[in-house]
Amino acid sequence: MPFVATWHKVNSSHYIRPPKVQATICMEIRPRVGSWNPFLAAVPLSEEGYLLELRVGPKGRIPTSFSVMHGSGKTDEYFIRNMSNEVTPSTSAYVMLKEKPTELIVGEESLQYSINV
């Protein structure tokens, strides 16, 4: 695999001020070599509500505070979120999810990977 991916359970300690809809799980993901910039994550359009936010931080630790530039969009099949922060072998992206989607696409505009969950 050209990337490292780990599932984490999420609880209220992962928020400074918990939102109305909290993530219950997240996928930590980063490339083994190189970088992804800008980073994107996508889920099937029917599961749009599952993909809550993206965070960036050191590997192995879900960040509680963060500052990223988010964008979002849709295609005929997918709901997409992206962020301007770079994801590297030592800096992970944290895809915050309400539930596990049936498929998760991650990477950057020019190179994406589909993960069947």
pLDDT in tens, 86-107: 999 999 999 999 999 999 999 9
CB 56, CB 94: distance < 8 Å? yes
pLDDT value of position 69: 66
pLDDT at 20 over 80: no
Q: Is 46 helix (H, G, I), strand (E, B) or coil?
A: helix
Confidence of residue 64 (pLDDT cuts 50, 70, 90): confident
Mean pLDDT of the chain: 90
Q: How far apart are CA 79 and CA 36, in angstroms?
A: 19
pLDDT number for residue 67: 59
pLDDT band at 13 (very low <50, low <70, confident <90, very high): confident
In DSSP terms, which residues pair with 112 in a beta bridge? Answer: 107
Q: State the average pLDDT over residues 64-93.
A: 88
Q: Is residue 70 scored above 90 in pLDDT?
A: no
Does the pLDDT at position 19 exceed 80?
no
pLDDT score, position 2: 94
